[in-house]
Amino acid sequence: MKEENYLLSELKKSNEVAFTMLFRSYYTDLVQFAGHILYDKNRCEDIVQNIFLKIWSERETLSIETSLKSFLLKSVQNACLDEIRHQQVIRTHESYSESVFEIDEMIDTENYVLFSDLNEHVNLAISKLPATYREAFELNRFRGLKYREIAEKLQVSERTVEVRIGKALNLLRMYLKEYLISILVLFLLKILLK
Amino acid sequence: MNTEEQIEIIIAKYLSKKSNTKEKEILFAWLNVSEENKKHFLHIQNIWHVSNPAFKSEDIDTDKAYTRILRNMNNQKSNVPKKESKMLVWWQKVAAILLIPILAFTIYQNTKGLLPHELTAYQEITSPLGMKSEVTLPDGSIVWLNSGSKLKYPLQFNSKKREVYLSGEAYFEVQSDKSHPFIVSTQNLSVVATGTIFNVEAYYNDTISAVTLLEGKVGLDLNKNVSKNLLPNQRFIYNTKTNKAFIEKTDANSWCKWKDGILAFRNEPLEDVFKRIGRNYNVDILIKDKKVAKQMYRATFEGESLDEILHLLKLSAPIKYKRIAREQLENYKFKKEIIEVYSSK
């Protein structure tokens, strides 16, 4: 947060490097965020770029009460919804009239987790795994090797591989506890709707 | 199944657009019960969206987007029609050629606000601990960044020199260009090169900074006071604590093996060996017995896991070690794994 305040005060002084850093740190996350409202990538990118252009041209009078993340998310959301209303794009999900629109407009911008945040958490969790567990886990989940193949490669028994991966998963579940509810529900649904 | 699980299934169905009218009614009713319910739903929706990104990451080109808005920003700034500003620039050049420096300077001062502003945007690449990265710079030079290193370079090199900033260790293969010296600035020293291959060790707050030259010639600037030149297969070592520097003959290649994933140690004290291993694998290795620290060691490791390396070290050096389980602090933060090394004698 402190770094962001510093960047914002530098932005006010027309510091382009500060602007660049802000742009680069939020760009992809905001485009992805817009993607769940408007499905056209080019339009999403245009919208996010225009918001940054506006931030630059109004940099001297810019005042952000909440947080930069909140401000950016709200700006993107408003711009996307404007676009929808303007274009009268037909929503692909069934409408339940007002209520649906309301839910979709609700975002907890203060606590919103961006894609890079989640990615970072997941990568951090994996990097915290003890080397042998991580190795077995990565070989299985990222390289797609079977337990038998991993056992051969690492010169250990299949049982050891099983144990290591099990331990890795347990640790990851613990590290990612906070995000797990949603992930669990995701998996649960995949099973239910087979 | 209790209500909590029930509602979560309905939420999941809603988010994947598979819920029927009845389920939606239940969901909306539940949402209206409390702010807490709303927040819970929003959080799940958040994670749901974020774990199912709308676009593939590769399809979003931040660089291209940045270039695009740069152009727009430039257009915003210049109020002078393009023709006029071109003339001024030309006049500046003419004045300079005619050796009228004062005039040129005055013109420059007056036109600073009107000429399209030159943006120097920097790119920063970080190679996290335990990983290495390779970067190609705007002039075609290639840089390999070692574990825990950071390189900052401009998106466009300026007209006089090519300057980059390094914190950590990097191997450079610099494109030849005598008219634009390539400068690597680090915490304690600067390396000036034109076309050449060299390795720089400049980890922040490390006692030793070093530059090893493989090909070509480089000049070294130490805190703007001392200036030295290096020849191939020479290694310049600067001790930041004693402020002493010296040049030694060496096999330059051995200092660059890290970029090929090879950890080579040639008669180095174990404390340095463990420091490098720690960096490479992102663990903290603490030597508990002083006499172990000073023992000289020689070995080459290529692609072994940390376990294997520790095991090999135990066999070939008079040490034993203890791995301490990771400590979890609040909020999902973890301390790095710690390995304690003791003398086995």
Q: Show the domains of chain A with their CATH numbers.
A: 2-111 (1.10.1740.10), 115-192 (1.10.10.10)
d(CA B200, CA B213): 9
- The tokens of B31 are what? 């949402």
The fold adopted by the segment(s) B122-255 is Jelly Rolls (2.60.120)
Using CA atoms, how far apart are residues B59 and B240, in angstroms rounded to an integer? 45
**Cβ B21–A96 below 8 Å, yes or no?**
yes
Q: What pLDDT, on the 0 to 100 scale, is given for residue A151?
A: 92
| Ramachandran quadrant class, B34 (left: phi over 0; alpha: psi -120 to 50; beta: rest) | beta
d(CA B249, CA B236): 9
pLDDT score at B3: 75
The average pLDDT across A20-45 equals 90
* Binary contact (B12, A175; C-beta < 8 A): no
Task: Look at B326 and A128 and tell me if their CB atoms are within 8 Å.
Answer: yes
CB-based contact B170:B149 (threshold 8 Å): yes
Mean pLDDT of B332-339: 76
Q: Specify the range with the lowest mean pLDDT, choosing from A179-188, B84-93, B321-330.
A: B84-93
Q: Residue B252: is its pLDDT beyond 90?
A: no
Q: Is the confidence at residue B282, as pLDDT, over 90?
A: no
For residue A32, list chain B residues with Cβ-Cβ distance below 8 A: 50, 53-55, 60
Nearest to A17 among B8, B44, B121 (CB): B121
Q: What is the mean pLDDT of residues A7-12?
A: 87
Q: Could B47 and A35 be called an inter-chain contact, meaning their C-beta atoms sit closer than 8 Å?
A: no
Higher-pLDDT residue of A80, B130: A80
Work out the average pLDDT over A79-88: 78
What does pLDDT average to over chain B?
A: 78
A to B CB pairs, distance under 8 Å: 140
Residue A103: its pLDDT value, please? 56
Q: How far apart are the first and last CA of chain A?
A: 44
DSSP string, A127-148: HTS-HHHHHHHHHHHTS---HH
- Which of B266, B269, B271 lies closest to B254, judged by CA? B266
Q: What is the mean pLDDT of residues B59-80?
A: 77
Taken in order B42, B48, B50, B52, the sign of the CA dihedral is negative
ipTM reported for the complex, 2 dp: 0.71
Q: What is the b/e burial string over B240-265, where b = at least 16 CB atoms within 10 angstroms of the residue's CB?
A: beeeebebeebebeebbbbbeeebbb
CA distance B323 to chain A (A): 10
Q: Rounded to an integer, what is the distance from CA A14 to the centroid of its chain?
A: 29
Radius of gyration, alpha carbons of chain B: 29
Rounded to a whole number of angstroms, the distance from the CA of B54 to the nearest CA of chain A is: 5
Residue type for position B327: E
Q: Which of B332, B333, B337, B339 to mutate to test the interface with A (most CBs of A within 10 A)?
A: B332
Asked if residues B316 and A141 have their Cβ atoms less than 8 Å apart, the reply is: no
Strand partners, B246: B237
Supply the pTM of this predicted model: 0.44
Over residues B118-136, mean pLDDT: 77
What DSSP designation does B327 have?
P
Q: Give ∠ CA B112-B116-B122 in degrees, rounded to 5.
A: 100
| pLDDT at residue A144, as a whole number | 77
pLDDT score at B80: 37
| Closest-CA residue of chain A to B122 | A17
Residue range B261-343, CATH number: 3.55.50.30
Q: Tell me where in chain B the CATH 3.55.50.30 domain(s) lie.
A: 261-343
Q: Taking Cα atoms as reference points, which of B208, B188, B207, B191 lies closest to residue B199?
A: B191
pLDDT at residue A99 in the model: 38
Give me the amino acid identity at B173: E
Residue B102 has pLDDT above 60, yes or no: no
What are the residues facing B200 on neighbouring strands?
B170, B211
* Delimiting residues of CATH 2.60.120.1440 domain(s) in chain B: 122-255
Cβ pair B116, B85 in contact under 8 A: yes
Residue B176 phi, psi dihedral angles, 5° rounding: -70, 125
Q: Give the confidence band of B120 by pLDDT, cuts at 50, 70, 90.
A: low
